[in-house]
Structure 1
């Protein structure tokens, strides 16, 4: 659903750019609350995985294909604010390096594909999780439904944007019907990919899934005849190794999908391309500003072998995306840590030399003990 240059006029594209910039600014602030030692390493991986899977167009119907948008997947795995940033990083890499999605339409694409899909998906997901029984299966079911609804929501949002700033005179009713209709089918594929991925991560590291937090009941201990919450245990070393294993497995999977499996993706136009061609939306489409990029159209310039060219471009794309995404998310994580340290030191922001009080001996570094002193 990458909108190219020329579909939307300049004033509306500029307004969408302001909306996108505002959404990214809010997400940068919100992501500092979401990112921790668990989600920070995963966020860059999620961006790379979305980039890889977006190269895998799957057939839908009537000569149309679809691909993952990724907003639901990112929001559920790493949080809604971080999810907006993940998809935005992917769209930026695609627009600048691969001439996919217009540069003047970047604000439209971020507003539609990053913001709308993430917000709609996460609202639906949280609502269903509250209604369904607590458990991993409910998270997977809610992920499927959230992803399914997020795609036609993005299609409808594009129709609204086109109604205000479209550059051709076409029937908006026909455009809306065609866009939402085909993207409901694409949403089924999005839902399947999202549910399978979320389910796979939950199976090995449920604590890494942002949307699944708080679904496990706290361990209770009987102290003095009353049930109290057990103290939180410190993370074990094997968990850190498990995180590295998951990260490596995710990167390898992304590289295989983008570097090899993408060659077998459907060559049919995606939902927006097909509707634009059938309804005449593309009459004023413009050539991409980076059409001469060495990686334009997901191929490496001057490499004649299509399989090698596309595979190498995919591998480069995964590498660039994971580096760019990880840099953003680690920077936000470090700023959060710095803010927390400053808040813990009275007078730190006035430049004083104050230091925090030492914790009383025997209190476990400030952690409260259960009444009665023993379980």
Structure 2
């Protein structure tokens, strides 16, 4: 659902850009509370995985395809604030390196594909977990439902922006019906991918699923015939860092395989937005806008001057995964480092406070 330049006029695009920048700034602050030794390395991987899976368009109807938006998956694995940042990194990489999604429409795309999907999925997910039994199956069910609802919600958000700043004169009711209808079908694919991924991580490392933290009941011991909470010393120790590295490496290899090999077999049909735009005439003025990075060596997910299509697509996918995980990991570790510095200052263990403490002790 990458919105290209020319669908939304300049004033609304600028307004959406301001809103997206505000959302990213707020998310950076919120992410500092979510990022820890487990989440920080996983966040960059989640961004890379979303990038890879977005290359895998799947057929949803005659002549129409869909792909993962990823907001729901990111929110459930690493938290809503960090999830917004993950999708923003993916969209930035796609726009700059691959000419996918207009640069003047970057704010629109972050708002529609990132903020709306993350918020919607997170609210549905948390709401269901509040009423469902406190078991792992409930996490997977809630993940499926949150992802399913997030996609048509994103389509409705695009329609709202089009109603205010659309560059063509198409009845909004027709756009809404067409967009929500096709994206309900795409939402089923999104839900299946999200639930399967969350379920796989949950089975191996439930502590790496942000949405499942605190869900499992504490360990119980029977004392004098009654069940009581086990003391902290009797509870299982957290998984080792080495195990986290293993999960990270497995996820990265999976993303590289999906982007570098499986992506060649993705559906070539236009995605939901492209199909609706062509059928309804939303794209009538899009040809007047040339993408600012249309001459990029990686434009349209292929490496320039590589004649073998399979190799060209595969190399582009691998480069995209590598760039996304590098940029994402750098951002998330920087945010994590700022949280550590803030925590140290708050505890009086920063450089200045530390020196004062030592002087007093002497």
Aligned equivalent of 2:192: 192
* Aligned positions, number: 358
- The answer to whether the 8 A contact 1:63-1:268 is kept is yes
Residues 131 and 260 of structure 1: CA distance in aligned 2, closer, same or farther (over 3 Å): same
Matched, 1:289 2:292: yes
Q: CA RMSD in A?
A: 2.2
Matched, 1:257 2:255: no
1:70-219 correspondence to structure 2 within 5 Å: 70-219=70-219
Residues 238 and 155 of structure 1: CA distance in aligned 2, closer, same or farther (over 3 Å): closer
SS at match of 1:266: coil
Aligned equivalent of 2:312: 309
Residues 260 and 347 of structure 1: CA distance in aligned 2, closer, same or farther (over 3 Å): closer
SS at match of 1:207: helix
- The answer to whether the 8 A contact 1:220-1:230 is kept is no
Give TM-score scaled by structure 2 length: 0.94
Give TM-score scaled by structure 1 length: 0.91
Residues 336 and 347 of structure 1: CA distance in aligned 2, closer, same or farther (over 3 Å): closer
SS at match of 1:283: coil
Show structure 1 runs of 5+ residues with no match: 359-375
Distance in 1 (CA, whole Å) between partners of 2:359 and 2:245 is 33
* Shift in Å, 1:219: 2.9
Residues 222 and 99 of structure 1: CA distance in aligned 2, closer, same or farther (over 3 Å): same
Distance in 2 (CA, whole Å) between partners of 1:342 and 1:235 is 31
Distance in 1 (CA, whole Å) between partners of 2:229 and 2:358 is 33
Distance in 2 (CA, whole Å) between partners of 1:43 and 1:311 is 23
Distance in 1 (CA, whole Å) between partners of 2:238 and 2:202 is 19
* Shift in Å, 1:228: 5.3
SS at match of 2:356: coil
Residues 99 and 227 of structure 1: CA distance in aligned 2, closer, same or farther (over 3 Å): same
Distance in 2 (CA, whole Å) between partners of 1:189 and 1:338 is 41
Candidates 335, 339, 344, aligned match of 1:341 = 344
Aligned equivalent of 1:371: none
- The answer to whether the 8 A contact 2:120-2:153 is kept is yes
Show structure 2 runs of 5+ residues with no match: none
Deviation track 1:190-247 (CA, whole Å, cap 9, x = no partner) reads 0000000000000000011000001112234578999455126798586222111111
